[in-house]
Every structure is written in structure tokens, then in C-alpha cells.
Structure 1
Amino acid sequence: MKTIQRIVRFAKVKTFAFKCIAVGAALALVATACLAQLASTQLIGGRQTAQAATASRTLTVTLTAKRGRILDANGTVLAQSVERYTIVANPEAAQEFTPITCNDTTRDYCHEIDGKPVGATGAAAVGRLLAKALDMNAMELGAKMSGTGQYVILKKDVTPQVKRSIAALNLGGIVWGELSSERLYADGDVMGALLGGVNAEGVGVAGIEQMENEALTGTDGHQTYQRGNGGEEIPGTMTESVAAKDGEDVTLTIDRDVQWYVKKVLKDAKSKYGATWAIAVVQDVSSGEILALADSDEVKAGSDEAKMSVSRAVSETFEPGSVGKVISMSGYLQTGLHKMTDQLTVPDHTTQNGQTFKDSFEHGSERWTLAGILQNSSNVGMVLAGLNYTDEQRYEYLTKFGIGQATGLHLPGESTGVLTSPSSWDLRTRNTVLFGQGYTVNALQLNNVVATIANKGVKQQQSIIKSTSSTAGSSDATAQGKATRVVDEKVAADMMNGMESVAEGYSKFVKVDGYRMAAKSGTAEVQGADGKLSSIISDYSVVIPADNPRYAVTVVLKDPNGVFGGLTAGPVSAQICEFLMQKYEVPVSSPRKDAIPVTW
């Protein structure tokens, strides 16, 4: 019996031992597996895990290049980009946000609004904290941060001061500022559509901003570093840094003071004469540099209107009227067909090839020299003087003076006007081109006609860009365009003499005390909105001083009360000329002693 009991006890012990051994083996296997996994993590996957952690902290930030400035001829800033920030939030982080109550211990990193608890959690709390700094509705901000994702723009173009106020709200890792820039223009509508503007990406889309976009645009840089939980850079983790290269500054030939005054005068003239619009050009005679290019339109530079518009001073074309006689008469002299002293008998009308031409006023048969025909602006005299002036010669001198051709300024939206070939002229057009009708010009082209005469017959390439310069200080002057001789110096001198007699004829209305002027007025009937010749262009081109030419000025008015160019555009040009003489302290003129007779 005892033997049997011993056998049973031994069997139980043996079974228990086997169970213990089995459990121990299982635990050993688990431990071995854990050790193997730990070894794998530490020895095999450790580098990959570390790399993944580093990658999650690594950030590449774009360093935005600043767009170059646009300056006037004297260095006055007309357009510049200033430091601004785009305020960005992480919606997922915002939704998990819980404000920290302010007390003596948490004072440096707590959250409150005007000394009171925030009163909310999540995106709503972040919105309440930001509302005052961003000057936005708290609920609107909260809604922006209630979506999915980790990036949402809250507001663009905030100042550095606003960005600093947001940094003081202890919202690191939830809200931050990204550096950007804003384009500012100094003088509102003084240069308006001529300067143009940039789009949301900072690309020039109109005016000089568009024309010089390549020079003005910089090259962005970047930095790569690791950031902490608050979004801050971890010191010593910068792995790459490429500095941004700012765009070049562009210096114009425009003198801001002259541009401002001309703009003011044009606005006043539009109001005074009830004109639809007014345009003016001021040009340095010897260099071809444009000192002012303005119109009466009230368009603010950088505005949506400026980005979608073209400067009227560049785009508007018109028949020049009698100012065009300067071109034809120069051709008469240069080809040897006439001299300025040639004597003609001029009635107030003439019929040629079945076409009748009349002067603007009735008169008997006048004994005028060629200079007298110019002074009295006789269409009939121009037709009679041009009887042996061929169609090819008429076209040749129009083109030599730049009619129907681009000015070379490359301003966006520039219209070149219309000059058809002689083969398309009818019996009337071949004669109307002699006195400024039958073709169209822009104000820049017309002004360069009288500037060419004033420059002793040499046509300068007009320019509006003086130079470009980098932030490093290097400067590149814009290459001077090729000058071309249009007429001989003697021809130009005789034309200046005749134009001075024109100016003397208007001296009661158009004068600058102490200075001689050489000028030509124009009045042309043009097509109106009704499709008929119901509109008027009145213009006046003047050189001052006539005895030592410095500046050429052209003023153009559309549908002014008073009609005639010498009585409307003329006085406006005199205001501009007087300002130029005072600003640049030009010496007064010597008395005139060489006037070519206008009658015989």
C-alpha cells in the first residue's frame, strides 16, 4: 500500500516538474524574442529610427528675396518692398490646445486675454488669443483652424510689430510667422499705371514693374535645420544655408518733382478746359531722357486698376494736326525743294486733283514766306509748297522722324500709331499728311520730333531707364540708344527760327518771362464715340530756351473747351516750362536778333 502511495506522489511531482520546465521554456523563448527585438532595434534599426526622428524635426525654410526698388533720377524711392509676414497656424495642434492658467509660477508661458482667462479650449481659444493682434474676428479665426491638416494661412502682409505681438502669446508650434514682403508705392497716382504693379506672387504684371521684372526679381535662398516642439530652431542643427539674392534697383530718368508738377497741371487743365483727358511729355533735348511722362488719369500705382491698365501717355494715339507741319517743312528744306525765305502767295483755299483744302480762318491772298506759312499754320500754304514734294519723300521724312515706329522705350502697352504706305494713300490723304492728318502718333513720338529739331537735327533714342544696381553696390548704366541724323544742322536751325516765330505769335497766351520759346500748335478733328469727326485733339509742342535748347515739352488735350491747341494746350505747356526753368535754374535767354521774315 505504501509502495503504491509513493509511486503516485512521484508521478505527481514529475508532472509538476514537467509543467514548470515547460513554463520556464516558454518564458525563456519570450525573453529571447524580446532580447532579439531589442537587439534588432538597437543594433540594426537604430540608425533608421534616429534618421526618421531627425527627418520629422528637419525643416527647410525659404528665404524670400526682396524685390528691387524703383527710384527716380535723383534716388527718390518710387516703389519698394518692405518686410512683412504671413501668419500661419497648425490646425491639428490648435484643436489640441489647452490654455495654461496664469499664476506666479506660469507667468512666463501662460495664456490670458486682458488679464482674464481665455474661457475656451482648442481652436476657439487660439482664435480668441489672436483676434486682437490680427484685428480679426475670433470666431472666423477659430473656424480657419478647425479643419484638417497642419497648415493654414490666417493673414498675409502683417507688419513685424504684429508678428512680435503674436510671438508674445506663447503659441509656439501652433501659430508662427513666415517672412514675406509687400510692395509699397510712394506717390499714389503720380506715376500710376506707368509704374504698374505686381501680382500676389510678386511678379510685375504691368507698367515698369513688368518691363523691368527680370532685373527687379531676386533669387530666393533657403535654410535647413531641426526644430523643437515649439517650432524654434534647435541650436547647432543648421545643415544648409543659401542666402537670398535681392533684386536689382532700377533707376529711372523720371524726375519725381517734375512728374508730380506735370501731373498736377494736367489734372487742373482737364478741369479748367473740360477736357476728356490730358497728356504731357517732358524730355531732355540732348540726351533723349524722359523727365516726365504723365496723364490726367487718377490711377494709383500698385492698385488692381494699375495692374490691369496701360498708361494713357503710352497707349493713346491721335492725329497730331499742325504740329506735323514741322516734319513736312523740314523735308522741304532738307531735299532742297525750298528755303525758309521762299516767297509764296497763299489764298485761304486751294483745289488740287479735285480735292479742296482750306485754312482754319478766312483770309485774302497773303504774301507769306515759308516761315510765315509755319507761323500762320496754313494748310493751303503747306499744300502749295509741297506740289513737287513726292509721295515717297513725304513718307521718308515721316518715318525718319519716327512716325509709325516704336519709340524703343519698350513700355508695356505702347501704341506705335498708324502710318500707311504711299501706295495706299488716296488723292486727299497724300496732302493731308503734309499738315498732320491721315496718320496717328503717340505723345512720345510727337515730342521727339521737336526734340530732334532742337538737337540740331539729330534724333536721340528716348530713354526712361537710367541704370540698374545690385545690393552689393555695383551699377550698370543703361546703354545709350543709337542717335541718327534726320536733317542737317542748318535745316534744324532754320526750323527752330520759324518755330520761334510761331511761339511769338502766341506770346499773349503762352510765355515764360525771360525765356525764348520755339513751338508749334496743332488742332485736329478726330473720330469721336459716334464714329464721326466729332472730337478734337489740341496739342502744343515747345522747346525752351529757343536760343539754347534744354527741354522739349508736348501737351495734348482731348475735346477741350476753347478747341485750338495754342489757346488750350499752349498755356498748360507754359506752366510746365516755367517750372523747369526755375527748378533747373536755367539762365535767361539773350534777345532775338535773327528772325527770318514771315511776309514779303
Structure 2
Amino acid sequence: MRGRIKLLGFAFLISSAALIVRLFFWQIIKSQELANWARLQQTSGRQLQAPRGNILASDGGFLAATTQGWLVYASKSDVVSDAKTLANKLAPFFVDDPSLLLAEVARVQDLLSENGSVWIPLKHRVEDETKSTIEAMNLAGIGFEPEDLRSYPEASIAAQVLGFVGKDDEGLDKGYFGVEGYYDLELSGKEGFLQRESDARGIPILSGTSREISAVGGVDLLTHLDKTIQLIAEKKLTDGIEKYGAKSGWVVVMNPKTGAIVAMAAWPSYDPAEYWTFGNDYFKNPVISDSFEPGSIFKPLVMASALDAGAVEPDTKCDICGGPAKIDKYSIETWNKEYRPDSTMTDVIVHSDNVGMVFVGNRLGADRLYDYLSKFGIGQMTGIDLQGEANPGIREKGTWNIVDLATASFGQGIAVTPIQMIRAIGVIANDGVIMEPQVVDKIALDGWQSDIKPLAGERVISKKAADEITAMMVLAASEGEAKWTAIGGFGVAGKTGTAQIPVKGHYDEDKTIGSFVGFAPANDPKFVMLVSLTEPQSSPWASETAAPLWFSIANELFVYLGIQPKS
């Protein structure tokens, strides 16, 4: 019996010792870890998104701004109304379109009916007026938290240039497309963190302790966009689309000496403040993402290359211009079936002679043409600071056959983006030096400001060659097929281009893209501009659609920029 008692006593001592050791382990060795764990169970935290930087026009006016909005939430433990009643009261303030009201009521009711949720976000980005109206209803359990609201004060102006702000996979703001997408990191700033003591239900205790790491706001971006020129371009483009029955179109205005984009308009457009109401096709900027065969606006690049290489002179005679050019099994004709034997190179540009350009291409050769086009930036990304730029590429050097050379010489069988095209013509306007197109001019934050200086351009052609092709383009604008719409006295250097659209391996004569590209004044260019209209119904010819639209815009630019006519 005594042995059994001793055994039990020994077991008790062992158990007590083990318990003491265990208590020592948890209360002494692990005490800090347990305290930290307990605090974690009593706190809740969330990220604090930094105020997004603003995007401004060249005059300092806001194009995209961050203002204060409100998150409407429900504290489930304090709600006294049933989910259906509360949803019917709130939903009308969450939608603008009455046809969406029933769906919104159902959405809010579903959120309020979720099991296990104690804090329910109901609606993001509510404005002050709506918040005040809901507050006046004194709905128990409904509260508000401040949050950033992205607004676009000029509505749809420069929408494809700006892009928009949506949400990423974690529900945080993220820029998509255009400036918002390209500079998203800089605009976003650095997020902070808020940690607050909470009760067992996870609801923050107002009198509890809290710790906050402040967010750092994003930078402001000052762009080269001139609001006046942008408005002119958008208004004229919209009018031109309607007048000529075009499917779509674009206008780009650039300073050829710096590469600064002062206006970029595309139609159709959208409102970035309500981007979710538009389809994805509206978001991409066709000026940087769409490729097209340029047609005759490409001819100045080929001619400039031949002039620079010494393959031709302005007065060189074309010895094949008396009729269609026979290339392999194909016959290449002029656009109007008219032929001018012994045309000079100047005549070829003025009259937009396809046969004459075949002559120029043969003089230059495929490999040299490829090298020059590469220097003009054809087949290469321009590096413009907008998200979404595409590059259609160019056939590799050494793989061109005689048909490829012939068609490329007059702008068919080769694809470019509008931004590649205007940059290339800008080379001619800038005395033969290429510049990188640029939208943002300055970055600013808390009084600090830094210029984004244009990259030093490389010489593509000599100033002599640039002057020679400019003189040809001045005559093309004043004496070519679009002479009826030209404005005298300003020295416009320009070129029309009508390109058939390839459809399933062949060209459709009824589907064209009409373009006019030019710069002015020719002796000291203040702007270079490209205007294109896709599938105009009133006429397939650029001389009757894109050209008059170009001169209509240019006429207003002359007045706005204070450019005086010579005579």
C-alpha cells in the first residue's frame, strides 16, 4: 500500500515539475510572443492608399485630379432595418441610370445579407452631396470613410491620352492606358498603413490605441497638351467624322523641334470618369496602337532618302513615267491614270505619281531604303510616354523582292502607326533630325519640380535634303490635288495620302484611309500635324476629306499661335 502511495506521490511530483516547466516556458520564455499574438488578435489594420498625383495641361489646368470621395459602409451589428428595406433606401443614390436600379437594389441586399460579415463596404467613390443626403436619413449602422476620388474636370477631353484609374486584383487604384498607365508608379505614391485596436467582432474601438504610417502622395505631371489646341482638334475631328461619314479618325499635333505632343485626338472617344460604361475598344489610343498602310503621305520619306543618298536630285527626270510600270506580273498605275513623261522628282511629289516613286525606289535600292526607313523610326517603337504603344514592324533587310520595293516606295505593303508617321515627317520639319515624341513636360511634388528634357535627336538626313523635300511638299500643298483647299501665304508643306485597306489578302477599293500630313510655316515650322479619316463615305480621296479637315484645323492654329501670312 505504502509503495503504491509512494508511486502516486512520485508521479504527482513529476507532473507538477512538468507543469511548472511548461508554465515557465510560456510565461517567461514565450511571454513577449504571447503578448504580441494577443495584441494582434485585438487589432485590425488596413492599407492607406496615397493620394494620386494630378495630371495637368500646359497652362496648369487640371486634366485629371484627385478629390475626396466617400466609402459608404454598413456596421452589421448596428443595423436595425432588414436587408431589403435598407437596400431599397440606399440603392437609388448609388446609380444614375434608372434602368440599373433593380440590379443595384439586389446587389446591396446581397451584401447586407452575407453571413459572418460585420463590416460591409457598400459603395465606393460617393461624392459629398450624396453623402450628405444619406446622412440626413439617419440610417442606423450606415457610416462613411473618406477615400480618394479620381475626377476628370474636362470630361472626355484627351481621354485616350490620359487613360483612366481602375482597380487591381487587390482592390487598389491602378492606372490603365495612356498617361495614367505609363506613369502609374509615379502617380500612385507610396501607401501607408493604419493599425487600430478592435473588439472581438473585429470592429475598431474608437477609444483604443492606433498606429499610423502616413502615405506619401504621388507626383503631379505637367503635360505639353495645350487645352485650346486639343479642343480645336477634337471639335474639328468630330465635325469631320460627321461631314465625311468616316468610321473613325485621329488628329495629332506635334512640335517638330522638341517632339512635344500639343494635341492628340481620336474618335470615337469615351469619358474616363465613367470608363466602365464603355467597351474595351474605346480605351486604346489608335494614334499609338493602330497600324495602317500610309499611302502617299509616305512618299516624302522615300524621296528624302533618295535625295540624301544622292540617288536623285529635284530635277532628275523620270524615264519610266510615260505609262504604267511593269513589275513582275503586276502593273502599277498612277492614281488618276494620267502620265507625264520626263517628270522631274518635284513633279512626282506634286502630282503624287506612283510610277515616279517606283523609279525613285529602284534608284535607291531595297537595302538602302530599309536603312533609311529604320533611321526615320519606321518599324521601331517611338518611346512615347503613353501606355499601349504598338509596333507593326517592317520586313527584314535582305528579304525584300522587287514588288516589295515598288509598293513600299508609294506607301502600300508597309504598315506604320500614326505616331511613327508624324515623328518621321517631323524629321523633315526639323532639318533632318529625329525627336522622340513626348507627352509629359515636368514632374512636380511638394514644391519640387523637374523637367523631362527631350532626348538629343540623331541626324537622319542632311539639312540640304530636308530643305529639298520641304520645297517639294510646299508645291504639293499649293499645286497638288488638294490645292483647292489650301490656305495661301503661310507656306504649308504637306502631302495627301489615300491608302486602300487590305481585307483578307486583297485591297478593297471601297475602303480607304484618307490622310494629310504637313507642317507650317515651312521655313520655320511651329507645328507638324497628321489628320486621318478611316473609310470616309462622301469620297474615298484624301484630297476631298482629310486635306480640307487639316487646313480647317491649321487655319485656327495660325490665329491662335499668332502665325502671320507672308502675303
The answer to whether TM tops 0.5 is yes
Please point out which of 364, 375, 386 is paired with 1:389. 364
Report the Cα offset of residue 512 of structure 1. 3.2
Map residues 315-330 of structure 1 onto 2, 5 A cutoff: 315-330=289-304
Q: Aligned partners of 1:474 and 1:199: how far apart in 2?
A: 28
Report the Cα offset of residue 161 of structure 1. 4.7
Report the Cα offset of residue 256 of structure 1. 2.3
Structure 1 equivalent of residue 120 of structure 2: 152
Structure 2 equivalent of residue 78 of structure 1: 63
* Structure 2 CA distance for partners of 1:180 and 1:520, relative to 1, 3 Å: same
**8 Å CA contact retained: 1:310, 1:412:** no
Aligned partner of residue 148 in structure 2, secondary structure: strand
Report the Cα offset of residue 248 of structure 1. 1.2
Residue 552 in structure 1 maps to residue 528 in structure 2: yes
Residue 566 in structure 1 maps to residue 543 in structure 2: yes
**8 Å CA contact retained: 2:365, 2:405:** no
Q: Aligned partners of 1:344 and 1:131: how far apart in 2?
A: 74
Report the Cα offset of residue 239 of structure 1. 5.1
Structure 2 counterpart of 1:455, which letter?
Answer: N
Please point out which of 67, 74, 78 is paired with 1:93. 78
| Unaligned runs of at least 5 residues, structure 2 | 1-27, 96-100
Number of equivalenced pairs: 516
Aligned partner of residue 485 in structure 1, secondary structure: coil
Aligned partner of residue 363 in structure 2, secondary structure: coil
Structure 2 equivalent of residue 337 of structure 1: 311
Give the share of equivalent positions with the same residue, in percent. Answer: 25
Root-mean-square deviation (CA), in Å?
Answer: 3.4
Structure 2 equivalent of residue 199 of structure 1: 166
Structure 1 equivalent of residue 189 of structure 2: 218
Report the Cα offset of residue 158 of structure 1. 2.1
**8 Å CA contact retained: 1:447, 1:554:** yes
Q: Aligned partners of 2:137 and 2:256: how far apart in 1?
A: 61
Q: Aligned partners of 1:438 and 1:307: how far apart in 2?
A: 29
Report the Cα offset of residue 565 of structure 1. 1.6
Structure 1 counterpart of 2:154, which letter?
Answer: D
Map residues 191-590 of structure 1 onto 2, 5 A cutoff: 191-200=158-167, 201-224=172-195, 233-234=206-207, 240-302=211-273, 303-304=275-276, 305=278, 309-345=283-319, 346-353=321-328, 355-470=330-445, 472-506=446-480, 508-528=483-503, 532-534=507-509, 535-560=511-536, 561-586=538-563, 588-590=564-566
Structure 1 counterpart of 2:432, which letter?
Answer: G
**8 Å CA contact retained: 1:315, 1:413:** yes
Instruction: After superposing the two structures, state which structure 1 stretch, 530-539 or 48-57, moved more.
Output: 48-57
Aligned partner of residue 124 in structure 2, secondary structure: strand
Map residues 155-170 of structure 1 onto 2, 5 A cutoff: 155-163=123-131
* Structure 2 CA distance for partners of 1:543 and 1:132, relative to 1, 3 Å: closer
Structure 2 counterpart of 1:195, which letter?
Answer: L
Structure 2 counterpart of 1:584, which letter?
Answer: L
**8 Å CA contact retained: 1:321, 1:522:** yes
**8 Å CA contact retained: 1:219, 1:245:** yes
Query: Structure 1 length normalisation: TM-score?
Result: 0.77
* Structure 2 CA distance for partners of 1:307 and 1:386, relative to 1, 3 Å: closer
**8 Å CA contact retained: 1:92, 1:149:** no
Q: Deviations over 1:510-546 (max 9, x none)?
A: 3335411001111122213795434212111111111
Q: Aligned partners of 2:386 and 2:142: how far apart in 1?
A: 43
Structure 1 counterpart of 2:448, which letter?
Answer: S
Aligned partner of residue 428 in structure 1, secondary structure: helix
* Structure 2 CA distance for partners of 1:385 and 1:167, relative to 1, 3 Å: closer
Aligned partner of residue 152 in structure 1, secondary structure: strand
Please point out which of 155, 159, 167 is paired with 1:188. 155
**8 Å CA contact retained: 1:196, 1:210:** yes
Report the Cα offset of residue 123 of structure 1. 7.2
Aligned partner of residue 190 in structure 2, secondary structure: coil
Q: Aligned partners of 1:181 and 1:279: how far apart in 2?
A: 33
| Unaligned runs of at least 5 residues, structure 1 | 1-43, 98-120, 592-600
* Structure 2 CA distance for partners of 1:51 and 1:406, relative to 1, 3 Å: closer
**8 Å CA contact retained: 2:362, 2:405:** no
Q: Aligned partners of 1:51 and 1:208: how far apart in 2?
A: 44
Please point out which of 151, 175, 181 is paired with 2:142. 175
Structure 2 counterpart of 1:356, which letter?
Answer: S
Q: Aligned partners of 2:355 and 2:440: how far apart in 1?
A: 42
Q: Aligned partners of 1:547 and 1:197: how far apart in 2?
A: 39
Instruction: After superposing the two structures, state which structure 1 stretch, 534-543 or 522-531, moved more.
Output: 522-531
Aligned partner of residue 332 in structure 2, secondary structure: strand
Aligned partner of residue 543 in structure 2, secondary structure: coil
Report the Cα offset of residue 190 of structure 1. 2.5
Q: Aligned partners of 2:442 and 2:312: how far apart in 1?
A: 43
**8 Å CA contact retained: 1:199, 1:205:** yes
Aligned partner of residue 556 in structure 1, secondary structure: strand
Instruction: After superposing the two structures, state which structure 1 stretch, 449-458 or 199-208, moved more.
Output: 199-208
Query: Structure 2 length normalisation: TM-score?
Result: 0.81
**8 Å CA contact retained: 1:198, 1:307:** no
